[in-house]
Structure 1
Amino acid sequence: MSAEAVAGEGYIRWFKDIRVGDVALVGGKTSSLGELYNALSAAGVRVPSGFALTAAAYRDALSEASAWEKLRPLLATLDISDTAALSAAAASARQIVYEATGTKAIREGIAASYAELEKQYGRNVAVAVRSSATAEDLPTASFAGQHESFLNVRGTSALVEACRRCFASIFTDRAIVYRRNNGFDDFKVFLSVAVMKMVRADTAASGVVFTLDTESGFRDVVFITGVYGLGETIVQGQVDPDEFYVHKPTFSQGHRAVLRHSLGAKQSKLVYARARGSVTTRLRTVPRAQRERYCIPDSEILALAGQAIAIEEHYSRAAGHPMPMDIEWAKDGDDGFIYIIQSRPETVASQHATNIVEVYSLKGTGTAIAKGRAVGERIATGKARVISDPRELASFQPGEVLVAQTTSPDWQPVMKSAAAIVTDRGGRTCHAAIVARELGVPAVVGAEGATSKIRTGMTVTVSCGEGETGHIYEGTIPFDVSRVSTDNIRRPRTEIMVNLGNPDLAFRTAMLPNDGVGLARMEFIINEYIGIHPMALAEPSKASPRDRKMIERLTRGYEKPADFFVEKLSEGVGTIAAAFYPKPVIVRLSDFKTNEYARLIAGEPFEPTEANPMIGFRGASRYAHPAYAAGFALECAALARVRGEMGLTNLRIMVPFCRREEEARKVLAAMAEHGLKRGENGLEIFVMCEIPNNVIRVDAFAALFDGFSIGSNDLTQLTLGVDRDSEIVAFDFDESDPGMLEMMRLAVTGAQRNHRHVGICGEAPANDPGIARFLTDLGISSISVNPGSLIRTMNIVSEAESASPGVRAGG
């Protein structure tokens, strides 16, 4: 055997012989694949078989060709802000590396190893060729997307060519910029190349998994994205992917339910095609019927989540601390199995300081030009620049808002100077989202039509501070940024809970200091995520022909319209319950007034016209009434699913606007009939204390319910006989009126007398420190306020408790 052949074989390391500590030998990406291949196969993690060309092959080839002497002067004085100079130098550097890595030793090592793969999988087996840098996939730097990969490579000659091009990609424009910006020496980072059996995702699906929420950094969920075909379309932002969440704590307890689904447009898929006799890739339009289905079923989503959790736990044990992971997956259309094709530490959201609360909030309103998926939870204003061709990037000015159909890794130098980024297409794991998140720049991706609706020079406000949906507003809208350290916050004995209705804000809000959710409003979820009157979904035949068509369109893909309501409501409520798990989350049953219900799709036929809906057919009076009983059954089915199938038993249920004990008994009986029996599986049922009769008859209501929540708005209106929405008498609406304080005192002491939890879920304690101190002195169990008032309320209550050391929280 020749000396060159022996050297060539020395440059090869098979996955079965690679472990996580071999970064210096085969780079971060391949060392991680080897670790998964060897350590986690028993946990159900599948990794395709393959081998690596070691970093020594790269170093030795460049040394033998005297390439270092050519590369150093080429890059020594390079100004990376000069895009033209950067492009020219990078191209020359790639050519130097390409020529140097065509040695006989490398060629023969590749040929011998590929022949071994052919013995396993058949002649001319297709492989993926992926770069793996020695400074890549570290906990502090990912290098994601900086180097090249090649898919569906067949035959020895094509494989050698792909490996050489992989080696050369160490000097892509974007890789040079990334190294400089992150303090890496161009000549101390080396490249290895991984060659693995190709997973035929082109005929199935692929995507990305994060073991945390990528926006908030919330650790208790697995976030999965997926598309049809090859995963490059996700990274490049060419399509809007399906998105899924799975809750880790309840998954580990044995519950198998997807917490939340979001159907992506999945406009196209990347598949293999032949052109001039060689294999290439091509975008194909996805048929409408496929677009309207999720790319993988729930069983595979849950299997993926299990693998992701196993991977995270394995790396966390090795590191000695939590290690959130960024994982790529691909489903093989031939064998039907899902494979893990990359795994690395997540390097952005997991690095957020957990002791600093930073909240961006709009202080005005404006006209929304477009909307999409929010990335970054920030807000920015600037002049827009629409980029329709990469050559136009030279005209981009720092501080402008970059607007494009998609972005690519080569755009990173410009993206770094942008005030915000907006793309027509893409999901929260596309290139634009990844880079924006890493740079701390707000981005709205998948904002359909943004490039046609926004004009260059137009001033826009890009808001990612309103939840998962990001908005692009015309003009300048003022906003506030509050930053508070939680290190020195005194946590009072009285529970300080939060009011929340928007599931999109749940993960971020849950990371604030809190004792759970005192009021989760169901109305927001019904209005924003369902939009259809519950009775119209329970009895669609009673809707008008026009409304029936709309219902059919919105509920397409569900066996029956009612299933749409149950899934959407359970996922919205479940997301809030999961975010705060295991802390208590009190969800209030729907409390629309008749005029509000009527505004929902197909709502008018099911609602009476009332002169004063505020004290009409609302709350408890609806639930057992024939006019709404079928709709109430759907509400109960959704909540039963959250507590049962999802395992979120921290969910408590609250009945609003319950006038009399007899009404309460009917509601409780209806709930029990629909699987929500008080006391069963620990279920606690509360009642809103917002009608004077609730206070007068507090002992009787205490016999029926587990707790009370004072609704200060309605209780004030009904105690003082004032409509706060009437401009003529609104000045008389005063929650600190002596009569109101007495009503609150009677409610709190009455609940305490019956050993029941009693809280308040209005903003009165946050707006009026005197009320907060008054309730604290009474020993109220909990005070629940909006997220923006949490810390202020904690401070007020802590001071009140210090002033009255004998006070203890009741309940």
Structure 2
Amino acid sequence: MSAFIKWFKEIGIKDTDEVGGKNASLGEMYNHLTPLGVNVPNGFAVTATAYRHYLDVNNLWEPIAKLFENFNPDDIDELKAVGKAARGLIMKGEVPEDLKKEILSSYAKLKEEYGDDVSLAVRSSATAEDSPTASFAGQNETYLNIKGDDNLLWAYKMCIASNFTDRSISYKYTHNFDPLKVYLSAVIMKMVRSDLGSSGVMFSIDTETGFKDVVFINAAWGLGENVVQGTIDPDSFFIHKPTFKKGHKAVLKRKRGNKEKTMVFSDKLETANLAEQFTKNIKTPIDKKMQFAITDEEVLQLADWAIKIEEHYTEVNGHYTPMDMEWAKDGVDGKLYMVQARPETVHSQESINEFEIYKLKERSNVILTGNAVGEKIGAGKVKILKSMAEADKFEKGDVLVATTTSPDWEPVMKIASAIITETGGRTCHAAIVSRELGKPAIVGAKNATKILKENQEVTVSCAEGEVGKVYEGILDFEIEKVDISKLPRPKTKIMMNLGNPELSFSLAKLPVDGIGLARMEFIINTYIKAHPMAIKHPEILSDTERALIDELAFPYNGEPEDFFIKTLSEGVATLAAGVYPKKCIVRMSDFKSNEYANLLGGRHFEPVEENPMIGFRGAARYTHPNYKDGFELECKAMKRAIFDMGFENIVLMIPFCRRVEEAKRVKEILTQNGLGDVETYMMCEIPNNVILIDEFLDVFDGISIGTNDLTQLTLGVDRDSQIVAFDYEERDEGVKKMVKMAVEGAKRNKKYSGLCGQAPSDYPEFAEFLVNIGIESMSLNPDSVLKIIKDIAEMENKK
């Protein structure tokens, strides 16, 4: 029996103290998840006993301990000096003969399994890492594509020396670990040749919001270090776990990253100089930058593994355990492999009942944008650091700005008010550490070091969705803390209005009864950018317009219709996922002609109208020759979201339906497009909708009252005109009578009635009026939800 080596088949999660978190988890997966189809490359652990043996034989305990006497981890110069000295002591030592023999004989067995040409990944595995409270993300070193006995022994020494990198020492002190009592095991495993394929990171939870119903995957070409260290903007994918488990295998949401660099192995591997770099970055070819790094089938394969891994660890731990994982695709055999799994360390520690909302109380010019990490706001003076050599100029509360923030920078990151980097995705090590430190960070903010100026005062907001914004000046903001478990639940359903899919997961904690108004226009305007008819009829477009649409469609095999249908369906499905299985009422497109004309190619298809507000909009478009083909695209997208992706909580809503005959025509075209059996409501916003409520409800399954247009058309006030704005009043008795008649009509027909508009948020008396007439639900802007829930519960108690 080996004294210093344990193969993956011999270890599991219970062996962390001896083999470290990474090894223990690889062994756990190898033993329990490979039978379920999860590919894990074979390998072995060089144990913590071996680490202690190395220090014993080389008499290193006492000299290393002396380095930490009276040590101040917050003194960056002292931190650097101590770390360098400790690593130097280890590298001067020799691998004991008995340990050397076991490492090399185990290497020989891997050659027997995989062939003499097998290369190795040599990775650090600390005995305190990958716990639920500390990830040790990127604190220790990894050495890839190692071949030959001497190279392997050198890589092992480098790994154990990395127990004393500056960042690792600082991290240990931050998390109250004794640096002499965290022992380092090493992983030695078959190298997955992702340098010839792709790789990335995935989580079984949304990394920014803690939303538990998704798997989040990042992907890039080449070795995974670019994704992990945040040197590129990777592709990202989300998969919805509840619908996936029901058999609806589809990508929920995707975003193509630039993937500017591809990390491959360096030619210097053939040299004898072991200290030279093993990898290099090359520019990613333009065609690969424009493609996704993995196919949909591979995304779904990874999602399946992520769900199995999460379920296994949840069962082993006896409580819900979201996971942080690394994967790689071998360019030689074409297979996907799992190469790491550990508990997620931020959202798994949060209380599910606490809801903390950061809100800006004022706005200024947006200087810069990027990927938001965390949902907080920070402000301070900009300090641009080129390297940690400049760390002495950084003061507590400054905003750290850098090309990239590797984990080496943790001592500075923990005293920053916010962090901004030019590169990186939302799963890089720097992002993980930022979350653990509770710091707002914006990664992938291009040209940040050039746009921002030294000592410039800025406010960094990560509280407005996936896009982080850097505002000019120090802005006032507030933090609202709510214990959701203590909120009353009124009988009247409270829903929210939402059009931006980027906010869906962050708002999923809100105690709402669904989404009462999901605006399709936001997705078309922000993500698709092209007019639906321009997608269907490219022959009418200019060469420039066609080229722009072809560029949008390139990652979708160059098919513009596929691009439109997938982008719209995934945007709507993301909204529905945030409230699943509660209702998500999706309003079909309701652009006015002047708004449609602003879309790419729109000028060819839209009339010029004097008053677009009451012109060619809503239901009138859906069966009209000038837009029918565009509406069919919308229908195909909704059919995909509901039936293929499994979001049967989606309810369709038809806006601005003027006449009953028009309602019947729309219902017929929905049926022709496979949506005839889908629950469909009417936006009740025209006086005729109220007057003929019974006839309209013969066609539709319910109504949602749009107070904006109903007020406009009841009072004859153009709500876009400032000159008569003083006459626009939702509380007018005529408007209220219209609302009351509509609700009574819905009750009479035993159909759904709701209201989506600003009035209940702005006027408590209007909310009280709605409660009194017995409306089934009201849908509000998200920032009004918590207040209105309290107000309405009090009103209902008084009745």
Residue number in structure 2 paired with 1:248:
241
Residue number in structure 2 paired with 1:808:
none
Asked if the contact 1:110–1:156 (Cα under 8 Å) also holds between the matched residues in 2, the reply is no
Q: Output the CA distance in 1 between the equivalents of 2:148 and 2:179.
A: 32
Query: Equivalent of 2:759, from 748, 758, 764?
Result: 764
Asked if the contact 2:250–2:300 (Cα under 8 Å) also holds between the matched residues in 1, the reply is yes
Residue number in structure 2 paired with 1:105:
98
Residue number in structure 1 paired with 2:310:
312
Q: Output the CA distance in 2 between the equivalents of 1:551 and 1:62.
A: 62
Q: Output the CA distance in 1 between the equivalents of 2:552 and 2:333.
A: 34
Superposition map of 1:476-491 within 5 A: 476-491=474-489
Residue number in structure 1 paired with 2:639:
640
1:700, CA displacement in angstroms? 0.5
Q: Output the CA distance in 2 between the equivalents of 1:137 and 1:560.
A: 43
Letter in 1 for 2:466: E
Q: Which moved more, 1:750-759 or 1:423-432?
A: 423-432
Q: Output the CA distance in 2 between the equivalents of 1:426 and 1:58.
A: 33
1:553, CA displacement in angstroms? 2.7
Q: Which moved more, 1:198-207 or 1:768-777?
A: 768-777
Q: Which moved more, 1:372-381 or 1:683-692?
A: 372-381
Q: Output the CA distance in 2 between the equivalents of 1:650 and 1:87.
A: 56
Residue number in structure 1 paired with 2:651:
652
Q: Output the CA distance in 1 between the equivalents of 2:405 and 2:194.
A: 23
Residue number in structure 2 paired with 1:384:
382
1:100, CA displacement in angstroms? 4.5
Give the TM-score taking structure 2 as reference length: 0.97
Q: Output the CA distance in 1 between the equivalents of 2:553 and 2:111.
A: 48
- Aligned to 2:172, the other structure's residue is in SS state helix
Residue number in structure 2 paired with 1:629:
628
Q: Output the CA distance in 1 between the equivalents of 2:78 and 2:601.
A: 62
Q: Output the CA distance in 2 between the equivalents of 1:446 and 1:503.
A: 20
1:551, CA displacement in angstroms? 2.2
Q: Output the CA distance in 2 between the equivalents of 1:368 and 1:118.
A: 56
Residue number in structure 2 paired with 1:325:
323
Q: Output the CA distance in 1 between the equivalents of 2:689 and 2:128.
A: 65
1:101, CA displacement in angstroms? 5.6
Residue number in structure 2 paired with 1:793:
788
Residue number in structure 2 paired with 1:738:
733
Alignment of 1:302 with 2:300, yes or no, is yes
Letter in 1 for 2:386: S
Asked if the contact 1:125–1:155 (Cα under 8 Å) also holds between the matched residues in 2, the reply is no
Q: Which moved more, 1:768-777 or 1:301-310?
A: 768-777
- Aligned to 1:77, the other structure's residue is in SS state coil
Residue number in structure 1 paired with 2:165:
172
Residue number in structure 2 paired with 1:351:
349
- Aligned to 1:76, the other structure's residue is in SS state coil
Residue number in structure 1 paired with 2:746:
751
Asked if the contact 2:520–2:586 (Cα under 8 Å) also holds between the matched residues in 1, the reply is yes
- Superimposed CA distance per residue, residues 193-226 of structure 1 (whole angstroms, 9 cap, x where no aligned partner): 1100111000000100100000000000000001
Asked if the contact 1:62–1:101 (Cα under 8 Å) also holds between the matched residues in 2, the reply is no
1:70, CA displacement in angstroms? 1.5
Q: Output the CA distance in 2 between the equivalents of 1:15 and 1:748.
A: 65
- Superimposed CA distance per residue, residues 526-580 of structure 1 (whole angstroms, 9 cap, x where no aligned partner): 1111111111111111123332232233332333322221111111101011121
Q: Which moved more, 1:180-189 or 1:386-395?
A: 386-395
Residue number in structure 2 paired with 1:497:
495
Asked if the contact 2:378–2:417 (Cα under 8 Å) also holds between the matched residues in 1, the reply is yes
1:340, CA displacement in angstroms? 0.7
Stretches of structure 2 lacking an aligned partner (at least 5 in a row): none
Residue number in structure 2 paired with 1:432:
430
Q: Which moved more, 1:600-609 or 1:11-20?
A: 600-609
Residue number in structure 2 paired with 1:672:
671
Q: Output the CA distance in 1 between the equivalents of 2:671 and 2:449.
A: 53
- Superimposed CA distance per residue, residues 664-714 of structure 1 (whole angstroms, 9 cap, x where no aligned partner): 01111111111211x2xxx20000111111111010111111110010111
Alignment of 1:264 with 2:264, yes or no, is no
Q: Output the CA distance in 2 between the equivalents of 1:541 and 1:132.
A: 59
Q: Output the CA distance in 1 between the equivalents of 2:155 and 2:360.
A: 50
Residue number in structure 2 paired with 1:606:
605
Asked if the contact 1:590–1:619 (Cα under 8 Å) also holds between the matched residues in 2, the reply is yes
- Aligned to 1:700, the other structure's residue is in SS state helix
Q: Output the CA distance in 1 between the equivalents of 2:689 and 2:759.
A: 19
Asked if the contact 2:382–2:398 (Cα under 8 Å) also holds between the matched residues in 1, the reply is yes
Query: Equivalent of 2:44, from 44, 51, 54?
Result: 51
Residue number in structure 2 paired with 1:809:
none
- Aligned to 1:461, the other structure's residue is in SS state strand
Give the TM-score taking structure 1 as reference length: 0.96
Q: Which moved more, 1:92-101 or 1:561-570?
A: 92-101
Letter in 1 for 2:8: F
Asked if the contact 1:495–1:781 (Cα under 8 Å) also holds between the matched residues in 2, the reply is yes
Residue number in structure 2 paired with 1:3:
none
Residue number in structure 1 paired with 2:72:
79
Q: Output the CA distance in 2 between the equivalents of 1:742 and 1:387.
A: 63
Q: Output the CA distance in 2 between the equivalents of 1:321 and 1:101.
A: 44
- Aligned to 1:497, the other structure's residue is in SS state strand
Asked if the contact 1:532–1:601 (Cα under 8 Å) also holds between the matched residues in 2, the reply is yes
Query: Equivalent of 2:691, from 696, 699, 708?
Result: 696
Q: Output the CA distance in 2 between the equivalents of 1:108 and 1:463.
A: 55
Letter in 2 for 1:731: F
- Superimposed CA distance per residue, residues 250-293 of structure 1 (whole angstroms, 9 cap, x where no aligned partner): 11011111111110101111101222625821111111011111
Residue number in structure 1 paired with 2:586:
587
Asked if the contact 1:132–1:193 (Cα under 8 Å) also holds between the matched residues in 2, the reply is yes
Residue number in structure 2 paired with 1:725:
720
Query: Equivalent of 1:118, from 111, 121, 135?
Result: 111
Residue number in structure 1 paired with 2:141:
148
Alignment of 1:567 with 2:566, yes or no, is yes
Superposition map of 1:84-233 within 5 A: 84-100=77-93, 102-233=95-226
- Aligned to 1:45, the other structure's residue is in SS state coil
- Aligned to 1:728, the other structure's residue is in SS state helix
Asked if the contact 1:200–1:333 (Cα under 8 Å) also holds between the matched residues in 2, the reply is yes
Letter in 2 for 1:753: R
- Aligned to 1:555, the other structure's residue is in SS state helix
Pairwise CA RMSD of aligned residues?
1.4
Asked if the contact 1:16–1:38 (Cα under 8 Å) also holds between the matched residues in 2, the reply is yes
How many residue pairs were aligned?
793
Letter in 2 for 1:500: L
Q: Output the CA distance in 2 between the equivalents of 1:425 and 1:530.
A: 25
Q: Output the CA distance in 1 between the equivalents of 2:344 and 2:618.
A: 45
Aligned residues: percent identity?
Answer: 51
Asked if the contact 1:761–1:785 (Cα under 8 Å) also holds between the matched residues in 2, the reply is yes
Superposition map of 1:385-534 within 5 A: 385-534=383-532
Asked if the contact 2:137–2:433 (Cα under 8 Å) also holds between the matched residues in 1, the reply is no
1:130, CA displacement in angstroms? 0.8
Asked if the contact 2:135–2:345 (Cα under 8 Å) also holds between the matched residues in 1, the reply is yes
Asked if the contact 2:376–2:462 (Cα under 8 Å) also holds between the matched residues in 1, the reply is yes
Q: Which moved more, 1:111-120 or 1:388-397?
A: 388-397
Query: Equivalent of 2:15, from 14, 17, 22?
Result: 22
Letter in 2 for 1:526: I
Query: Equivalent of 1:783, from 770, 775, 778?
Result: 778
- Aligned to 1:130, the other structure's residue is in SS state strand
Alignment of 1:706 with 2:716, yes or no, is no
1:467, CA displacement in angstroms? 0.7
Residue number in structure 2 paired with 1:277:
271
Asked if the contact 1:462–1:472 (Cα under 8 Å) also holds between the matched residues in 2, the reply is yes
Asked if the contact 1:777–1:800 (Cα under 8 Å) also holds between the matched residues in 2, the reply is no
- Superimposed CA distance per residue, residues 134-167 of structure 1 (whole angstroms, 9 cap, x where no aligned partner): 1111111111111111111111111111111111
Letter in 2 for 1:286: T
Q: Output the CA distance in 1 between the equivalents of 2:46 and 2:93.
A: 15
Q: Output the CA distance in 1 between the equivalents of 2:237 and 2:19.
A: 33
1:641, CA displacement in angstroms? 0.6
Q: Output the CA distance in 1 between the equivalents of 2:122 and 2:602.
A: 57
Q: Output the CA distance in 1 between the equivalents of 2:499 and 2:690.
A: 26
